Amino acid sequence: MSQVFSNIDKIKAVNTEHLLPQLYSKQQDEGPCISCFSFIFRKWIRKAQPAYRNYAKAYPMASHLMRRESERNSGFRQFITEAQLNPIFNRLSYDHFLKAPISRIQRYLTLLRAVLDNSADGPEKAPLEICIEKLKNFVLECGEIVSEETKRVEIVFF
């Protein structure tokens, strides 16, 4: 568990400390529709990069360890199968949950692009474009890290 999920606390902390409270506060101040929020995401990106880089770097090994343990340990394999059948997990595999933090930053990118596409011209448009570009570069960087580490894991274990 410590090898597979060692970085998840940092991912959770960066989101609960640097993104969610700021967005909730902004929403309470301005109502259901908020404006000028790109600075929140830009600040979050700066704070989140180390945690997500570490997670991206550890993800291939974590995935390999889960797969290997499932192949070797019938009790673990049964646990994974039973967990997958639990309605809470919506029949999703363990790999979905391992990949979720990395997928989340990709979804943020998609969300911000949709906001930009549906926004009128205004003072927030240029900062939002900058934020999207920074997030896009961050998503690409995490993808490259996962790819490099996957190659290392394959070299070591295959």
Q: Can you state the percent helix, strand and coil of the chain, rounding each to 5?
A: 80, 0, 20
Tell whether pTM > 0.85.
yes
Nearest partner of 120 among 47, 52, 33, judged by Cα: 33
pLDDT at 45: 96
HSE-up of 49 (CA within 13 Å, CB side)?
13
Residue-by-residue DSSP string for 11-43: HHHHHHHHTHHHHHHHHHHH-SS--S-HHHHHH
What pLDDT, in 10s, does the model give residues 91-104?
Answer: 898 899 999 999 99
Which residue ranges form the domains of the chain, and what is each CATH number?
8-157 (1.20.900.10)
Query: What's the pLDDT at 12?
Result: 94
Mark the ranges of the chain whose per-residue pLDDT is less than 70.
none
